[in-house]
Amino acid sequence: MQIKNLMSEDLITIDKDQNLSDALKLLRKHNVSRLPVTNHKELVGIISERDIANKLGSSKYESMPASRLHISSVMVKDVFTVPQTMQLADVAKLMLDEGIGSVPVMCEDEMVGIVSKADFVTLAVGIAFDKITVKEIMSKDLTVVSPTERLVHARRLMIEAHVGRLPVVEDDKLVGMITSKDLMRAFIDFRKNVPEKHQKSQIKEVLVEDIMSSNPQYVSKEMSISEVSNIMIETGYNGLPVVEEGKVVGIITQTDILRLIEKLES
């Protein structure tokens, strides 16, 4: 299958000279996690919730409001693109090899679509995926955080582990989830509600439990990939913790499903 048959043609873009507040409004309005960045309609970068969370949480920008940050200072400039005729398996391999969540799709020099891991997950629903269970592809190498740890520590863990979500665990029990989206929103709300002169000291007092999602959805090792994919499609979640007898034993993400599809398509 060529990638043009899977990509989304509904392109929501932002200009590099707009500010971060504009990006936040677009992300929220269209319920997307990343935006291609253009300059006079030419693709020049891409910006994601994870990029924003990382930038807003850094010491260099910790007290700068989103309205003063231009997209060009936050976006990733080295963008991988693919031709619309590229085979699905080849696009999946590129995304896995480069650790990227989406790629703009081009026809000659024009961007005609974008494909993300979420698009690939829609392929993992059906008979072939009914026979494959979570335990066969889930990630067992877990990075977790406790509810009483600081938000800045959770951000650092996500950056070091190259992940966009962390299970929140207390006494070996799953008590919450924290994602790049949660971090992004927390840093923005913090800037709005705390006077600038107090931000540097008070940001260190914000704890994971202050912003995490409680009672998170989870799956079992025996569930099929088809069932999990349906949950991801319905909820928009990028990853789900795997729980056995009350304990977190792994996590299954869009990346794990993408890896499976790439393997089956090759």
226 contacts 252 by C-beta, under 8 angstroms? no
Q: Do residues 83 and 245 make contact, with C-beta atoms less than 8 angstroms apart? A: no
**Mean pLDDT calculated for residue range 145-150:** 97
**pLDDT tens-place string over residues 203-261:** 888 999 999 999 899 999 999 999 999 999 999 999 999 999 889 999 999 999 999 99
pLDDT at 169: 95
* 223 contact partners, CB below 8 Å, separation of at least 6: 133, 134
> SS3 letters for 52-108?
HHHHHCCCCCCCCCHHHCEHHHCCECCCCCEECCCEHHHHHHHHHHHCCCEEEEEEC
Count of beta carbons in the 10 Å neighbourhood of residue 165: 23
| pLDDT for the residue numbered 63 | 65
pLDDT digits (tens, 9 = 90+) for 129-142: 999 999 999 999 88
Mean pLDDT of 111-131: 95
186 or 15: which carries more pLDDT confidence? 15
pLDDT digits (tens, 9 = 90+) for 163-179: 999 999 998 899 999 99
Helix (H, G, I), strand (E, B) or coil at 29: helix
Q: How confident is the model at residue 218, as a pLDDT?
A: 96
Tell me which residue has tokens 């709005």. Answer: 192
Q: Which residues pair with 177 in a beta bridge?
A: 167, 213
Using the structure block, give the residue that is written with the tokens 């994602």: 179
* pLDDT at site 55: 84
pLDDT at residue 43 is higher than 70 = yes
Token pair recorded at residue 225: 């990939």
pLDDT tens digits, one per residue of 58-110: 777 766 777 788 899 999 999 999 999 999 999 999 999 999 999 999 998 89
Q: Are 260 and 132 in contact (CB under 8 A)?
A: yes
Q: How many Å separate Cα 259 from the centre of its chain?
A: 16
Q: What is the pLDDT of residue 69?
A: 85
Give the residue among 254, 163, 144, 149 at the shortest CA–CA distance from 211: 149
pLDDT exceeds 80 at position 150 = yes
pLDDT at 238: 92
Distance, in Å, from the CA atom of 254 to the CA atom of 179, rounded to the nearest integer, reads: 14
Please state, for a pLDDT cut of 70, what percent of the chain lies above it: 99
- In this predicted structure, the answer to whether residue 149 has a pLDDT above a threshold of 80 is yes
- pTM above 0.85? yes
Does 197 score more than 90 pLDDT? Answer: no
Max mean pLDDT range (21-25, 57-61, 120-124, 242-246):
120-124
Position 160 confidence tier, pLDDT thresholds 50, 70, 90? very high
